[in-house]
Chain A
Amino acid sequence: MSELVIETKGLTKEFGSLTAVKDLNLKVKKGALYGFLGANGAGKSTTIRMLLDLVKPTRGNAYLFNKDIRYHRKEILRKVGAMVESPSYYENLTAYENLEIIRRILKLERKEIDKALEIVNLSKWKDKRVKTFSLGMKQRLGIAQALMGDRELLILDEPTNGLDPAGVREIRNLIISLPEITGATVLISSHILSEIELIADHVGIIHNGKLLFQGTLEELKEMGNREIAIKAQPLLEAEKFLRNKGYDVEMREGRLYITAERINIEEVNREMVLEGFGVSHLSENKKKLEEVFLQMTGGIEG
């Protein structure tokens, strides 16, 4: 069993009659690049705020580094770099001065500022006031703020939100490189499946405040129904035969398609050959991750 950096137990937040986060049991392993996926309003930001002790849970607990955030707030937060929703910055100050604030709070050496600026590629702009920055630059500054001082856990809430495609790619590549550069565990939230697919190795899917799936990206891809395409002679009889065997069969463009949660492809082949069918093609179509996701969340995507 590997070490957990984040673990929540029955974490719940109610806003009046609305349950934004419901009985959440999150587990993020050390070293993971954990993608926290959910449509708009699914409860990602609320969860992240509870992890950072910005919002008090209605019920349940959040443990970071095996300690309850409610009772070890400062000790834990020293090791956590966060960017919640949109980037934060003091617009009257320069990029450097913004990082100077973090430096003083964490009591770091000056060179840490330059190091962080270097990683996010802002060194050239460090003496410019943030007021003049583009959104992408502000986002990078936000990540620099989270990085400073070799923090062990980075929590980034939708860090590519609102960026143009080039900006999205730049931030994405930056995030992918983070565990290698910093050795940190990273939790990144997003409502875009393809983004999580590109970045993360572990995934948690939240929907209407509930965690629907948690595991590796590979495990997620294995989920959902599989589909097998068959070309056999004689076709109509083969269809009848498979139907009688209890499979869910569909005929399209001269092929038979079977869908089921679990199919043993070799067994299907054997049964058909034994029955005397001429099987000329047998293949498995992996379902696209997107379909898995849609199936899981009941067809609603943000």
Chain B
Amino acid sequence: MRNIFGIEILKLKNSKALWIVTLAPIFMVVQGALNLMRYYDLFTGQGQNVWEQLYSQSMIFYVSILLPILISIVMTLIARIENTNNNWKHYLSLPIDREKVYGIKFIIGCMLVFINILVLISSIIIAGKILGIEESIPYMDLLTKPMATYIAAFPIMAILYVSSIGFAHMAIPLGIGIGLTLPAMIVANSKFWIFYPWTYPIMAALGGDMEIFNKGNIIYIVSPMLLILVFSFGYKRFLKRDII
């Protein structure tokens, strides 16, 4: 298990795209901070918490667009490592377990998404410090909400992983990932949001402050369940699949 994990990490070496994607939140927070600076009075004039403003400035775009698209790219790139250059055939003709390969690659994909969220939080904190926000850092909010967002993104991660491994051509999972991201904000405002996992990160990240996204805790039950369901579906298919 550890062995294959190490091997999978080695394969990511020199994969620039993957690291750019993982570090992308930095650019987005910089954008959010610049925005906040430019309209500082507008955003804080009524005595709002500046941290909260910085957070929501950064977060709205992140959870509705950037995060799901980044997940799509991360999962596609992870699958692409094997989908190109004839690699599945060779890798699976070695004495390793298909089960482990499938599981560990998913774990690594999820880890990269997690790093992505950690980068987001740190960027927000650093940006706040640079802006010289005087209030103390609301660690609780800044940590729990992104973690909740991560859990809420489970189904997206699983769906993208399973389709990336399932389709040899990367255009399909990328198309699915991006295509389903775009309407997320609209669906989030409708009563059908629960059927649309792309809305969950929006609820998790922005619920609480924004009344409309405050939909309770049901997503934290639905989300892990969908992850297990989708992953098992892909896993069973992968074990049976002819490697052509």
A→B interface (CB under 8 Å): 49, 52-56, 73-75, 77-78, 80, 82-93, 97, 100-102, 104-107, 129, 142, 145
* CB pair A101 B3 closer than 8 Å: no
Chain B residues near A101 (CB, 8 Å)?
Answer: 7, 10-11
* CB pair B93 A54 closer than 8 Å: yes
Chain A residues near B97 (CB, 8 Å)?
Answer: 74
Most chain A CB within 10 A, of B3, B240, B243, is at: B243
* CB pair A85 B89 closer than 8 Å: yes
Chain A residues near B87 (CB, 8 Å)?
Answer: 88-90
Chain B residues near A97 (CB, 8 Å)?
Answer: 10, 13
Please report the C-alpha to C-alpha distance between residue A248 and residue B87 in the assembled complex, in whole angstroms: 55
Chain B residues near A78 (CB, 8 Å)?
Answer: 95
Chain A residues near B96 (CB, 8 Å)?
Answer: 74, 105
Please report the C-alpha to C-alpha distance between residue A88 and residue B7 in the assembled complex, in whole angstroms: 16
B91: interface (CB < 8 Å): yes
Contact of B93 among A84, A100, A106 (CB under 8 A): A84
B92: interface (CB < 8 Å): yes
Chain A residues near B13 (CB, 8 Å)?
Answer: 92-93, 97
Chain A residues near B81 (CB, 8 Å)?
Answer: 90
Contact of A92 among B6, B15, B90, B243 (CB under 8 A): B15
Number of A-B contacts (CB under 8 A): 84
* CB pair A52 B93 closer than 8 Å: yes
Most chain A CB within 10 A, of B6, B84, B244, is at: B244
23 A–B pairs (Cβ distance < 8 Å), ordered by A: A52-B93, A54-B89, A54-B92, A55-B242, A55-B244, A74-B95, A74-B96, A74-B97, A77-B93, A77-B94, A82-B90, A84-B93, A85-B89, A86-B86, A88-B86, A88-B87, A88-B91, A91-B85, A92-B11, A93-B11, A93-B14, A101-B11, A105-B94
CB-CB contacts below 8 Å: B95-147 with A: 95-97
* CB pair A104 B7 closer than 8 Å: yes
Closest residue of chain B to A145, judged by CB?
B90
- Smallest Cβ distance from B84 to chain A, in angstroms? 8
For the complex with contacts A90-B11, A91-B85, A104-B6, 19 further pairs of A-B residues with Cβ separation under 8 Å are A49-B244, A73-B95, A74-B95, A75-B95, A77-B95, A78-B95, A83-B90, A84-B90, A85-B89, A86-B85, A87-B86, A88-B86, A89-B85, A89-B87, A90-B87, A92-B13, A104-B3, A104-B7, A106-B94
